[in-house]
A and B are shown apart, each in its own frame.
Chain A
Amino acid sequence: MTALEERLSDRVSELGLPQWAVDLLLIGGVVLATYALFIVIGIVFGVSTNLIVGQLQQITFFAAVYALAALALNLHWGYTGLFNIGVAGFMAVGAYTMGMLTAAPDGSPPGLGLPLIVGVVGGMIAASLVGFVAALPALRVRADYFAIVTLGLSEIIRRALLSRSLQEFEIAGYALGTGGGSGIRAPSTDVVADYLLYVGADRTGDPTTLGAVLFESAELLGIQPSIIRNGVYTLILIAFVVAFYVLLTRIAYSPFGRILKAIREDELAARSLGKDTNRTKIKVFMLGCALMGLAGILWQGSRTQISPNSFMPIVTFYIFVALIVGGSGSNTGSIVGGFAFAAFLYQGPRFLRTIVRALVDVRAPPTIYDAFVPLASGDPLPLLGYAIGSLDEIRYIFIGLVLIVLMIRRPDGLLGHRKEIAAATDLSRRPAATNGGETDE
C-alpha cells in the first residue's frame, strides 16, 4: 500500500505537471486502484453486482465524510498546529443546530421548522461561534493541554446534548430541544438527492429524466434504487470535498497560510514580526470549526435522526487516523487519507465479513473459548466464525495498530512529508535585475 502510493506519486511527479494536476492524478489513481481491488475481490468470490456497487458507494460516502473532516482538521492541526481533539463536538454543534432549526415545530422535541438551507448555514455559524468561545481561552494553553481542553469541551457538548435538562426548552416563545438521549428528528440533508431524482422531490412520485435514466440502468444491472439514491448524495458530498479542497488550498498558498505555518512553528517569533497571531488563530479556528460543523451536518444530517452518541470521542480519533494516514499538513493527503481510512479500515472489513458469511455458513460461537475448543479437534470453522463475529473489535485493534505503526515508522503519513510552500507565487523565480546565479544551491 505504502510502496504502491509512493511509486505512484513518484511516477506522477515525473510528468512535470502543475501541483494541482499531480494531486488530482494521485487522488484519482488511489481511488481507482482501490475500486479495482474491491471489484476484483467481489468478482472472485462471486458477489453480486448490487452488493459490490453498494459497497463502493458506502466506501465513497465515508471517504467523502472523513475527507471533509480531515481537511478541516488539517487547517487546525496540519497548518496552524492547533491540536484539536474535540472535532466530534464541533460536528455535533453543527448537526444539532441544523436539527433544531429545521425540525418540525410539533415534533418531539420541537424545532423551528425552518428551511434546510437555513439550518445548514445556521449550523455552520453555530459551530464557528462555539469555536470562537472555545478559542478565546483555549488558545492560551500548551499544545497537550489544548488537546485535553478540546476533548473536554467535546464531551461537555455531548453530555449537555444528552442531558434531560436541555431536552426541551423555550426561547422567546419558541419551543426547542435537543431531545436528550433520543436525539432529534429533522429533515435529512440527503433530500437534495431527491430533488435531482424525483419530480418535486416526491419519492413516491415520478422520477425526473435523470432519475429515470439512472433507475433504469440500475434495474438492468440489478442494483437497488436505494443505492442510486445514496450514490447521488455521495456525489454531492464529493462536490463539497472539492469545494473544501479549493478553499483550503487557496489558504495554504497565500500569505495568510504563511502566517498559519509561522504560528505552528514559533508563535512568539511571528508576533515579533508584527503578525497578529491571536486574531489569526481565532479566525482560522472559527473557520475550521465551521467546516467541521458542515461536515457533521452533511454526515449525521443525512440521517433523519441526530443522536448524541454519534459524536463520541472515537469519531475524532477516526478523523485523526484519516489525517495522519494521509500526512498532516497536506490537503491532498487529507483526501487520500480519508479515502484510505474509509476503504481499508472502516468499510473494507465489513465487505470481507459479508463475503465470508456468504461463503461459509458458520454461526459465531458465544465465546472465544468455545471457538478454541473445537480447534483442538481440528475444526477451525468456529474460530473463523468467532473472528468474523468479532470483526468490529478486530477492526478497532487494527486501527490502533495502524496509528502506532504510523507514528513509529511514518509519522509524516503515507504521502510522506509534503512541505507545501506557502506563497501565492512561484518562489523559485529570482528577480532578473540582481546578480543572480543559480536559483538552486
Chain B
Amino acid sequence: MSTGNVRGRLSDTTAQEMVGAVLLLGIAVLALDLVRLLVTGELSIARLGSYLWAGIVDSLYIGLAAIGLSMTYSILRFANFSHGDLITTGAFSGWTVAYLVGGIGVADLSSRLLLRANGGAQPGAVGMDVLAAPLAIVLGLVAAVIVTVLVALAIDRLVYRKLRDEDGIALLIASVGVALALRYLLAVFYTTDTRGVVAQAPSPGGVDLHQLTLVVSAVSLMLGIHLLLQYTKLGKSMRAMSDNKDLALITGIPTERVIFATWVIGAGLAGAAGYLIVLDRGQVSINLGWFLLLLIFAAVILGGIGSIYGAIAGSLVIGITINLSLVWIPSDMNEIAAFTLMIVVLIFRPDGLFSGVETA
C-alpha cells in the first residue's frame, strides 16, 4: 500500500487544522470542567494530585521504553513488536540477579534462580527493598540493562540483520515472531505465573522510596541519553541514518555500528524500564511488556517517530491521559481513551503531535 501521496493530498487540506482545533477545544472544555470539579469540590485537590503523580510515574517508564522503540523504529525502519518483550527480559533478568545477590543465605538456589517459580522465598523474607538490599537492587538494574542489550544484539544478529534490505512489513512480522519466541522462552524457564518479587516499599515520611528510585533512575537515564546524543557524533549519525540509510553508507557513516549503538541504547533503556516497572508495581509477569507495547507505540506515535524528546512528551501525554481520564470515565475505559487519542493523532498528524521539535 502506498498511500504516501494520499497523505500528501490530505496535508493540503485544512482537515488537519480543523481536527486540531476540535481537539484543542475538547481539551479546553475538559480543562474548564476540571476547574469546575475542583471548585465544587467534586474532585479533591489531593485526588487530582495523585492522578497527576501516577500519570508522571507511568509516563516515565513508558518514556524509557518509548525512546528505545522510537530509535529502532526510525533507524531500522520497522515497528518492532518485540520491544515489549525486551522490557520483560529486563524485568526477569534484573530481578533474578537481585534475588541471587540479595537472597544469599536466605533462600534456596532454585527459588532465587527462577524468581520464585516454585512459590518459595517470598520477597519480604528475602528483604527485597531498596533499604534492606541496596546493593542487590542496583546490581539488578545493571544486570537488567546488560542482559537485555545482549539479548537484543543476539536477536539482531540472528534475525533482523538478515532482513536489512526487506521492507518494514517483513521486519514487523518477523518481530512478532521474535516477540512470541522470546516471551515464551522466558515462560519455559520462569513459568507463566505472575508473582511478587519486591518487598513492600519503605516509605519514610510518606515518600515511597521505590517510586522515588524509579523517578530518579528514569530521569537520569533520559538525561544521560540526551547528553550522549547531544555531545557525540552518534546523535547526528543516527539522524542521518534515519533520514537516508543508503546515503549514510556512502557518506562513510558506519551504519552497522550505528545500528549496534541503537540496539544498545534502545534495549538498555527497555531493560531498565522493565526492571523499574517491577520495582514500582512489585509483581513480575511474562506479559509485562507485551501488554504495555501498544501504549508505548501510542506514545512514540504521538511524539513523532525518531524524536527522543517527542517520545518523552508523547509518554507524558499518554501517562497523564490514562490517569487523568479517570476523572470522567470509568477505570476500565482509560486505555480506550489513550488508544483513541493515538488513532486520532495518527490520522490527522501522522508525523506526531510534536513533530518539528528538534531531536538531539
A and B touch in the complex (CB under 8 A): yes
A: which residues have CB within 8 A of B? 80-83, 137-149, 151-153, 155-156, 159-160, 162-165, 263-268, 278, 317, 320, 324, 366-370, 373, 390, 393-394, 396-397, 399-404, 407-408, 411
Q: A138 touches which one: B162, B183, B347 (CB < 8 A)? A: B347
Complex CA–CA separation, A358 to B343 (angstroms) = 51
Complex CA–CA separation, A145 to B6 (angstroms) = 14
Asked if A403 and B173 sit within 8 Å, CB to CB, the answer is: yes
- Given the interface contacts A267-B2, A407-B173, A408-B174, does A393 sit within 8 Å of B332 by beta carbon? no
**Hey, which chain A residues are within 8 Å of B159, CB to CB?**
404, 408
Among A137, A263, A324, chain B packs the most CB atoms within 10 A around the CB of: A137
Q: Does B150 contact A (CB under 8 A)?
A: no
Q: Does B163 contact A (CB under 8 A)?
A: yes
Closest 7 CB pairs of A and B: A403-B177, A400-B181, A400-B180, A396-B184, A369-B110, A404-B177, A407-B174
Asked if B192 and A393 sit within 8 Å, CB to CB, the answer is: yes
Complex CA–CA separation, A64 to B187 (angstroms) = 30
| 15 chain-A/chain-B pairs, Cβ below 8 angstroms | A148-B301, A155-B294, A155-B339, A156-B339, A164-B332, A324-B173, A366-B117, A369-B118, A390-B188, A393-B187, A397-B181, A399-B177, A403-B174, A408-B174, A411-B170
Q: Does B330 contact A (CB under 8 A)?
A: yes
Q: Which residue of A lies closest to B159 (CB)?
A: A404
B90-126 vs A, CB cutoff 8 Å, 1 = contact: the mask equals 0000000000000000000110011001110000000
Complex CA–CA separation, A147 to B185 (angstroms) = 26
Q: Does B201 contact A (CB under 8 A)?
A: no
A-B interface pairs (CB < 8 A), number: 178
**Hey, which chain B residues are within 8 Å of A155, CB to CB?**
294, 335, 339
Complex CA–CA separation, A278 to B6 (angstroms) = 10
**Hey, which chain A residues are within 8 Å of B192, CB to CB?**
393
Interchain nearest-CB distance for A19 vs B (Å): 27
Interface residues on B, range: 35 or more
Q: Does B169 contact A (CB under 8 A)?
A: yes
Q: Which residue of B lies closest to A146 (CB)?
A: B1
Asked if B188 and A400 sit within 8 Å, CB to CB, the answer is: no
Asked if A367 and B184 sit within 8 Å, CB to CB, the answer is: no
- Given the interface contacts A139-B3, A396-B184, does A152 sit within 8 Å of B298 by beta carbon? yes
Among B142-194, those with CB < 8 Å from A are 159, 162-163, 166, 168-174, 176-185, 187-189, 191-192
- Given the interface contacts A267-B1, A399-B180, does A367 sit within 8 Å of B343 by beta carbon? no
- Given the interface contacts A148-B301, A267-B1, A366-B118, does A141 sit within 8 Å of B113 by beta carbon? no
Complex CA–CA separation, A148 to B4 (angstroms) = 16
Q: Which residue of B lies closest to A402 (CB)?
A: B177
Interchain nearest-CB distance for A384 vs B (Å): 14
Complex CA–CA separation, A370 to B300 (angstroms) = 42
**Hey, which chain B residues are within 8 Å of A390, CB to CB?**
187-188, 191
**Hey, which chain A residues are within 8 Å of B5, CB to CB?**
267-268
Asked if A367 and B332 sit within 8 Å, CB to CB, the answer is: no
Asked if A144 and B347 sit within 8 Å, CB to CB, the answer is: no
- Given the interface contacts A368-B188, A408-B174, does A83 sit within 8 Å of B169 by beta carbon? yes
**Hey, which chain B residues are within 8 Å of A267, CB to CB?**
1-3, 5-6
Q: Does B340 contact A (CB under 8 A)?
A: yes
Asked if A368 and B114 sit within 8 Å, CB to CB, the answer is: yes
Among A137, A140, A404, chain B packs the most CB atoms within 10 A around the CB of: A404
- Given the interface contacts A400-B178, A401-B177, does A142 sit within 8 Å of B185 by beta carbon? no
Contacts A152-B298, A164-B332, A403-B177 supplied; 10 other A-B pairs, CB < 8 Å = A141-B350, A142-B1, A142-B3, A144-B79, A159-B333, A267-B5, A368-B188, A400-B182, A404-B181, A407-B166
Complex CA–CA separation, A268 to B5 (angstroms) = 7
Q: Which residue of B lies closest to A82 (CB)?
A: B1
Asked if B346 and A144 sit within 8 Å, CB to CB, the answer is: no
Asked if B298 and A400 sit within 8 Å, CB to CB, the answer is: no
Asked if B176 and A140 sit within 8 Å, CB to CB, the answer is: no
Asked if A156 and B188 sit within 8 Å, CB to CB, the answer is: no
Q: Does B249 contact A (CB under 8 A)?
A: no
**Hey, which chain A residues are within 8 Å of B294, CB to CB?**
148, 151-152, 155
Q: Does B297 contact A (CB under 8 A)?
A: yes
Interchain nearest-CB distance for A90 vs B (Å): 16
Asked if B346 and A148 sit within 8 Å, CB to CB, the answer is: yes
- Given the interface contacts A146-B1, A148-B346, A369-B114, does A400 sit within 8 Å of B6 by beta carbon? no
Asked if A404 and B332 sit within 8 Å, CB to CB, the answer is: no
- Given the interface contacts A144-B79, A148-B301, A393-B187, does A367 sit within 8 Å of B181 by beta carbon? no
Asked if A397 and B185 sit within 8 Å, CB to CB, the answer is: yes
Q: Which residue of B lies closest to A387 (CB)?
A: B188
